[in-house]
Every structure is written in structure tokens, then in C-alpha cells.
Structure 1
Amino acid sequence: MKSILIAAAVALVVSILLTPYLIKVFGRQGFGQEIREEGPQGHQSKRGTPTMGGVAIVLAMWAGYAVSHLTVGKSGPTASGLLVLLLASSLGLVGFVDDFIKIRKQRNLGLNKTAKMVGQFMAAIVFAILVLQFPDERGIKPASVHLSFVRDIAVVSFGAVGFVVFCYLAVSAWSNAVNFTDGLDGLAAGSSAMVLASYVLVAFWQFRYDCADPQTFGAGCYNVRDPLDLAVVAAAAMAGCIGFLWWNAPPAKIFMGDTGSLALGGLVAGLSMTTRTELLMIVLGGIFVVEALSVVLQIAVFRTTRRRLFRMAPFHHHFELAGWAETTVIIRFWLLAGICCLLGLGLFYSEWASAAGVLGGG
């Protein structure tokens, strides 16, 4: 528990102090956000606001993780924790390049679809291959080839090759979903903080009821490699988002850009696979799912009927164009994100309670 608190505290301090420095540096360099001409007109006033603030989140996350291990960690960094951090950082690098191109060309389009897809593909494939290596003394690897809900579903196996494909689809889907959500001041940062807080609880609960502990073996225990370290990673990232949100709350003084949104999407994808909660993540990250689906449905309906299903996609812009104030949309979407997280945690706990016999299911 102490390592989790230290990681969160350090990441919060780094993020909340580093972000204003980035605002000054990026502002001086002219690293300002370009705004879509076809977007809500109220957003045109945001043109020129410094972007690439996701750098603060990524650095805060690493700082919190490192200091936690230097001060408390007895066994050092783990394979699971490092692989998830590296996945998030590599996607953050893809996002950084995308943001930098937007700034240099002064347009709202950075990397083309193919280039961005290649970047996501390479990050996901390397992660998929490595995450099936490094078994611990029990033979448990950071991830499993089985599909999972709150633990592995034994009858659904991808196989090694199938898992690599699944990993790419998951990483691509979640990184793009968070990227779609990052369209209003503080929306993605606040929603991500809630999802990551949920993963702190999930991973710590898995550590508390690890099957390696004789006292919990067989009582709804979890075969997850390095759950405590995953809780440390989630805590550091959560605090990094909160520190950044201090400056990103409306009216935002800086945007996270693709640097932050792709990194956070990769992070939650990695956490879902290493904690064996891939399907549960659909519930926990329900707000991201809705935003991504709104884009898919908008494109599908328009191509088939030449009509728009929503006034504008992603979904949050639909409500802006319907007359809702930006802060109203943000707060209500935060509430929805919180409800999704509570529902996901409730499902997680009820499954454990049933398996452990607490609810009479044992």
C-alpha cells in the first residue's frame, strides 16, 4: 500500500509542477493546437493553446513508478509493470510525432492513417510478444492467450498468434477511443483518472487475494503476475492525469494532444490484459466505448444513407451543437464515466464474492 501512495504522490507533484513549465515552453515555441474548421465554432477561440501536454502525464507516471521502487520496492520493477509503461510510452511517442506534424504544418491533421496505424501496430506487436514471456516462479506470464472477463475464460483461447492479433486490435481500439474522447477541456483526463483509479483497486484486490498466498488459495484467488506493481503503475498514471487536469480543466491552458490520449489508451489496454480484465474494461471504460461507437456509427450511417446520425461525432460534440454548454457536457460525461467505473467495480467484486463463497456461490 505504501508503494501505491508514494507513486501517486510523486506523480501528482511532478505533473502539477511540470505542466505549467510546459505551458510556458510550448507557448514560447508556438506549439499551439490547430482547430477543425468544421467543428463547433466556440472552439475556434482555443486555437493556439499549447498542446502535447501529455508529456507531463507520461513523465509523471514514470517518475512516480521509479521513486516508489527506489524508496519502497523490495524486489525492484517487474516485467508486467515495465511492459505496460513501455506500451504507453511508445504510443505516446507516436502521438508526439502526430502532434508535432500538426504544429509544423499548421493543420489539424498530423500523421496520415497509415503512418499512425503502423506506429500502433509496431507498439502493440512488440508488447504482445514480450508480454507472453517472462514467467514467474509459478509459471505465470504477464498476460495470457485466453480471453478474460475478471479472470481468464479457460474455454476461449486465442493461441499465441491469435493473441498477437487480438492485442493489436485492443491497443488500437483503446488508444483511438481515448483519442476520440479528448475533444473537450478535461474530458479525457478526468475520465482516464477514474478508470485508472478503478484499476488501482482491481490490481490491489488481486494482490490481496493472490493464489500464491496460502491463506487465499482456492477462495476466489487470482493468478495474475505482479498485481501490486500494476496497482503502482495505475496509481502513478491516475495521479499524473489529476495533476494535468489542474491546468487542463476548462478553460484549458494546455491540451494533452495525441501524445497523452494515445499513451493513456495504450495504458488501459495494457492494464486490461495484464490484470486479466479485458472484457471488464469495456464496462470500466464505457465512456470511451460510447465515444468510439459514435464515430463508427456516424461514418457507417452517412456512407449508407448520406445522412448524419448525430449533429457531429464524436458524441460530445453532438450535445454542444444541441446547445449544451461545454462545461455541462464535460461534467455529465464525467458522471457517466464514474457510473461506468462503479458498475465495473461492482461486477468485479460480485464475481469474487461468488467465487469465494461470500454470496453463497462457493
Structure 2
Amino acid sequence: MLYHFLQLFQNDIPALRVFKYITFRTFTATFTALLLSMALGPWLIQRLREYKVGQNVRQDGPQTHLKKSGTPTMGGLLILIAVFLSTLLWADLTNEHIWITLLSTAGFGLIGFWDDYLKLIKKRSMGLNATYKMIGQIAVSSGVALYIYFNVDGTFMTTISIPFFKAINPDLGIFYIPFVVLVIVYISNAVNLTDGLDGLAIGPTIVAAFSFAGLSYVTGHVMLANYLNITHVPGTGELTIFCGAMLGAGLGFLWFNTFPAQVFMGDIGSLSLGGALGTVAILTKHEILLFVICGLFVLEALSVMIQVGSFKLRGKRVFRMAPIHHHFELKGWEEPKVIVRFWIVSIVLALLSLATLKIR
């Protein structure tokens, strides 16, 4: 909104022309989201305490977590407020990629909010029924898939790019729709499963947001896309601003979520952030690269799948506890050590992913 308002005066005030550049607006969106989350954080945490929206801690997990019981959760509201306000202020609101991403994020956020509401306010221990939760996630991601397949400029391609191989671009055709659903739902739940330690999920999310800010920019820039031999998708450059807002909001939230956490993000935060990352990856045609950039989330989700599958088939567990971050805790790693080392893995995977832009 502010971007469109300032456009009205660019001819009279030449200095305002700087706002037409995506790079500058990305910086402003990042700092706006950071300031909003830092400013609103104490107020929101206090409100959550007043409403007794506190975390319930599993009794069968690491015993060091028991002291976290009652810590305010649903802090993902802080992230969403900062992301949405910053994006609406600084992005080009005539760009449909922005609205697809915002609506997808909001859809997953609503599912997470309802789950948190049932668990924390209504005291229903299991929260939203798993079947209903999955149906909701499939419905939101299907909406994204169907819209981009049938409507986005009439130019959206159903091919996918394979990292490191420039000549391999399989065309999925109509099967691209279920592929999109699988990608978004998987990443959303993977982020949700990772959110088990202070700052563990938001750290890699910040790294992924930074990575996709760069990928969105080069994907939307025809000359850079051609130079790097990646698929050019007109209009996706504006998603750089959304990713910048995620980055800033994530940093602000981390201020309060770092060990020992003053607030947890809850499902409203983890499901929506995963949905946002998945949607951006789809729109920028980096669907496979998403699984490398978000490799830590993928590993966390796989550890749960392996644990459950092994126990059902063999009656034995592979890990001491899943998701895998609890396995390392039970091996004796202190919580901060697990968090920082997992962040390092996330950064290395992001650097590897960005290297694929030149190694093709």
C-alpha cells in the first residue's frame, strides 16, 4: 500500500524513485518486519500469558523440557502479523504471485491456529483431528496448485528443474497438480515437526527465506535467469519482498524464541511458515531445490517416518526418540548444542543449493 502511495509522487520527488527497485523494497520490508516483531513481541507475550496460552510438555520426552511447561505459545501470530503488514506495505499488490503466497500462508496459518486453539484454549490434548488437519492442508495446497495451473498469466510451466542437471526438465503435465500438493504439505509438516527446541525451527526458516529471496529475484529477472540458465518466471521478483519480510519477522521472533525461549511459535507459526516456503518454491520453479535448502526439515520429517515404519514393521526403534533432534538430546547433547549444530547444517545446505545456480 505504501509502495503504491509513494508511486503517486515519484515524478515530483525524484528521490522516491528508489522505491521502484525490488532490492530497496526488500530491505525496507525486512527492516519493517524486524521492527514490528521486536516492538509487538513483549505485548503479545504478555497477552498470551494473561490468557494462559501455555505449552504442554510431553512427559516421555527429555526431562529437561519439563521446566518449559506453561511457556506462552502461539507466538507464530507475531511472525504472521509482521510478514503480512510488511508485505502489504512494500510489495506491488497488483502482482498475483504475492496474493497466492499470502493466501496460502494464511490458509495454513488458520489450520495451525485452530489446532493450537483446540489444544491450548479448549484443552483438547490432541488438538485438531489429524485427518481434518490433513484435509485442510490438502485443500489449501490444492487451491494453490489449481490456480497456478489454470490461471497464472497463462505462462506457467509444468516442468521441474533438477539441481546440477540443466538438460533434465521432466514435464509432469496434469500430474503437476498433485506434485504441488505433496511439496507444500510435506514441507509444512516438516517445519511443524522440527519445532521442538528453542529456536530450532525459526533458524533454518530464516536461512531458507534468505535463500529464496535471492532465488526469487534471479527467477523474476530475465537477464539473470538466462545467464544462470534457470527458468524465468515473470513477476516472481516481487516474492523477494515477501521473503525479506519473512527474514525480518523471523529474526525478530528469534529474539524472543532463542534459548531459553520466552515464547514458542506453535502450529500457527510452523505450519504457515512451511506452507509459505513451499508456495514460494513452486512459484519460482525451484521445487526440487526446496528439499535441499530445507534439508534439515526434510531430515526431521524422515526421522519420524523411519521411526514409525520401523516400529510397525519390526517392533524396533531406529532412534532413541523422533524427531531426530530429541535423539541427540537423549544421547547427552545439551539443547543449545543441538540447536546451533542443526543451524550449521541448514546453512551448509543453503550454500550448496545456491551453488547449483552455477554448477549445471
**TM-score in same-fold range (> 0.5):** yes
Distance in 2, Cα, partners of 1:224 & 1:29 = 45
Paired residue secondary structure (2:149): coil
Structure 1 letter corresponding to 2:171? S
Q: Does the CA contact (< 8 Å) of 1:81 and 1:226 recur in 2?
A: no
Q: Does the CA contact (< 8 Å) of 2:210 and 2:247 recur in 1?
A: yes
Deviation at 1:39, TM superposition (A): 1.3
Name the counterpart of 1:95: 112
Name the counterpart of 2:220: 207
Name the counterpart of 2:258: 249
Name the counterpart of 2:11: none
User: What runs of 5+ residues in structure 2 fail to find an aligned partner?
Assistant: 1-22
Q: Does the CA contact (< 8 Å) of 2:217 and 2:240 recur in 1?
A: yes
Deviation at 1:207, TM superposition (A): 3.4
Name the counterpart of 2:171: 157
Q: Which range moves more in the overlay, 304-313 or 147-156?
A: 147-156
Name the counterpart of 2:350: 341
Aligned CA distance change for structure 1 residues 173 and 200 (closer, same or farther; 3 Å):
same
Counterpart among 133, 155, 163 of residue 140 in structure 1? 155
User: 2:179 matched to 1:166?
Assistant: yes
1:1-362 equivalent positions in 2, closer than 5 A:
1-69=23-91, 73=92, 76-106=93-123, 108-136=125-153, 139-141=154-156, 144-149=157-162, 156-160=170-174, 162-208=175-221, 210=222, 220=229, 222-351=231-360
Structure 1 letter corresponding to 2:131? T
Distance in 1, Cα, partners of 2:141 & 2:70 = 32
Distance in 1, Cα, partners of 2:59 & 2:146 = 41
* CA deviation vs aligned residue, 1:158-180 (integer Å, no higher than 9, x gap): 223x2221122111100110001
User: What runs of 5+ residues in structure 1 fail to find an aligned partner?
Assistant: 352-362
Aligned CA distance change for structure 1 residues 152 and 347 (closer, same or farther; 3 Å):
closer
Q: Does the CA contact (< 8 Å) of 2:220 and 2:234 recur in 1?
A: no
Q: Does the CA contact (< 8 Å) of 1:61 and 1:233 recur in 2?
A: yes
Aligned CA distance change for structure 1 residues 239 and 152 (closer, same or farther; 3 Å):
farther
Deviation at 1:82, TM superposition (A): 1.4
Q: Does the CA contact (< 8 Å) of 2:161 and 2:169 recur in 1?
A: no
In percent, how many aligned pairs have the same letter?
36
Distance in 2, Cα, partners of 1:33 & 1:49 = 5
Structure 1 letter corresponding to 2:155? I
Distance in 1, Cα, partners of 2:227 & 2:193 = 41
Deviation at 1:134, TM superposition (A): 3.9
Distance in 2, Cα, partners of 1:3 & 1:121 = 33
* CA deviation vs aligned residue, 1:195-216 (integer Å, no higher than 9, x gap): 11011111122234x15x9xx7
Distance in 2, Cα, partners of 1:133 & 1:39 = 46
Aligned CA distance change for structure 1 residues 31 and 93 (closer, same or farther; 3 Å):
same
Q: Does the CA contact (< 8 Å) of 2:105 and 2:273 recur in 1?
A: yes
Please tell me the root mean square deviation across aligned C-alpha atoms, in Å. Answer: 1.9
Deviation at 1:221, TM superposition (A): 5.8
Structure 2 letter corresponding to 1:90? G
Q: Does the CA contact (< 8 Å) of 1:199 and 1:234 recur in 2?
A: yes
Paired residue secondary structure (1:64): helix
Q: Does the CA contact (< 8 Å) of 2:162 and 2:168 recur in 1?
A: no
Deviation at 1:347, TM superposition (A): 1.2
For this pair of structures, how many residues does the alignment match? 337
* CA deviation vs aligned residue, 1:294-351 (integer Å, no higher than 9, x gap): 0010011111111111000000000111111100100000001111111111112323
Q: Does the CA contact (< 8 Å) of 2:116 and 2:268 recur in 1?
A: yes
